[in-house]
Amino acid sequence: MPALKIIKMSILRALCSRIRLFLDIVIDFIFSLYWECKNKKLPDLDEKHAFLADSAVSLAQRIKSKQLKSEDLVKAIIERIKQVNPILNAVVTERYEDALNEAREVDRLVSAGLSEQMAKKPFLGVPFTMKESQAWKGMPLTLGLWSRRNERAVEDSEAIIRLREAGAIPLAATNLPELLIWQETRNPVYGMTVNPQHTGRTPGGSSGAEAALTATYATSISLCSDVGGSTRMPAFYCGMFGHHPTANTTCMRGVLFREGNEDSMFCLGFISRHVEDLVPLTKIITAQKADKLNLDRKINLRNVKFYYLDSSSDCLVSPLRSEMTEAIMKVVENLRGNLKVEVQPYHHKGFDYMYRLWSYWMSKEPGNYFKLATNSEVELNAWTEMGKKLIGMSKHCLFLILRCLELRAFPQLDSVWAEKITQELKDDLANKLGDNGVLLMPSAPHAAPYHYSFYLRPYNFAYFGIVNALKHPATQVPLGTNSKGLPLGLQVLSTPYNDAVCLEVAKYLEKEFGGAIMPCAIKNKA
């Protein structure tokens, strides 16, 4: 390409970016006129329940050593849910009495003296919550669809079985978007979940309710899933940690009708206030594949290869706000100054097509999206459904209809091009990172957006989605707040089966940058 043409293209790209950034600011201003006055403060945590701030690992240790009763922990979380849920709308179904009975049984066993088998259960007596998309025997399994509002699961998902075997107690199921595909947590069955950092803003999707509970001390273990950022996005918007494991290492049986043996970019994961919970929890959901991840290997951060991505030319995605790039550069400066390591800039053209590559690989996922949307053998007619929506007759959210229209009406990507550029990006990352390297990359163009504003910026989750398309592991890390008090952060990406490197870097950043960002204080007795 001639030099003059390259210069012209660069100028045009810079001009388009500035125009797009200006439009984003206008969008934020317009939505703020309504949502700023809707912000509600969440109640602080009572000092008597301050232990809810502890990691799940430490809570289990205290239960085993008789310093804390499982029943008291479960009661405290139930009480906390009842305090915050009227504002958040996160919990949609529960089994509080059954959970309390199971907690009492744990306490009885501890009191009588733990057997060797019980002592090895890593999360003995610790309650957990999960998205309603996890099959939970006898409990609702609507997936957010009105047509499934009366459906109940007939068995437990594999993840629930494994968490139970690890001693954890299922407590409640939480809200989600229809069929898990949207950047907000809202559906016709249960309504909308809000962000505890600012209730006029989205907690993200599809695990937004799990992130909201974690951020308000209302759950100790938060089981999530991620096919386009559904674990990491809510973790980012709500100021928590979230880990997305290497693809095809977590068993998906019992989630969105999966059998568990599919080749997929859909993964289970966890949102947490503490990095130390993420390794043992990931071991549980990877089970026999945990050895592939080698999560216990010792990592010297001074030997890790660090790269950073601070921009993308994906024209479908909003430009990065300065606060996002500044957060990344603060981490780069910290690593260079404290660890004395080299941190190199990185770019590959694959990051200029993040949404398109995710969309291509999403089209290869198992299951018929149109049949799932109707809960029948009849496929959803997106055009008809849009007509019904316009006259208030549709029982679907607009985002699901638009997604179906996109799949039907938009031209499909050239498969040769999409697979070629994906493989080139994978190969380049493998060459640069190897088995002991990470890429520090943006989480999103900006902090948590106002509710419904995603309709005007539907592709902004692409920084998360490209990770799924690559089938790489990544950990979301909070990095303080912006001028409006909203969480900032970045993703730590590595190559397949090198989750341990992501998590070790996350652990370091947790110590250096303050960790999870809590919207609620622990109330001291006056």
Q: What is the mean pLDDT of residues 297-305?
A: 96
* Total-model pTM: 0.96
Three-state DSSP class for residue 418: helix
For residue range 217-251, what is the model confidence (pLDDT) as tens digits? 999 999 999 999 999 999 999 999 999 999 999 99
Which residues participate in catalysis according to the annotation?
131, 206, 230
**Rounded to an integer, what distance in angstroms lies between the CA atom of residue 184 and that of residue 452?**
8
For residue 141, CA distances in Å to 169, 171, 420 come to 19, 15, 38
Residues whose CB falls within 8 Å of the CB of residue 118, separated by 6 or more in sequence, listed in order: 109, 124, 167
Cross-strand bridge partners of residue 198: 195
Of the candidates 281, 283, 285, which has an alpha carbon nearest to the alpha carbon of residue 268? Answer: 285
Q: Which helix (H) or strand (E) holds 56?
A: helix 56-64
Residues whose CB falls within 8 Å of the CB of residue 186, separated by 6 or more in sequence, listed in order: 175, 177, 192, 193, 205, 397
**Rounded to an integer, what distance in angstroms lies between the CA atom of residue 177 and that of residue 145?**
9
For residue range 80-104, what is the model confidence (pLDDT) as tens digits? 999 999 999 999 999 999 999 999 9
For residue range 257-271, what is the model confidence (pLDDT) as tens digits? 999 889 999 999 999
Residue 350 has pLDDT above 90, yes or no: yes
**Rounded to an integer, what distance in angstroms lies between the CA atom of residue 309 and that of residue 440?**
6
Written as six digits, the tokens of 257 are 């009708």
For residue range 460-479, what is the model confidence (pLDDT) as tens digits? 999 999 999 999 999 999 99
Give the confidence band of 526 by pLDDT, cuts at 50, 70, 90. Answer: low
Q: What is residue 71's predicted lDDT score, i.e. its pLDDT?
A: 98
Q: Which helix (H) or strand (E) holds 432?
A: helix 415-433
Any idea which of 96-105, 110-119, 151-160 has the lowest mean pLDDT? 110-119
Whether 182 and 129 have beta carbons less than 8 Å apart is answered as no
Angle at 442 between CA 13 and CA 292, to 5 degrees: 130
Give the confidence band of 18 by pLDDT, cuts at 50, 70, 90. Answer: confident
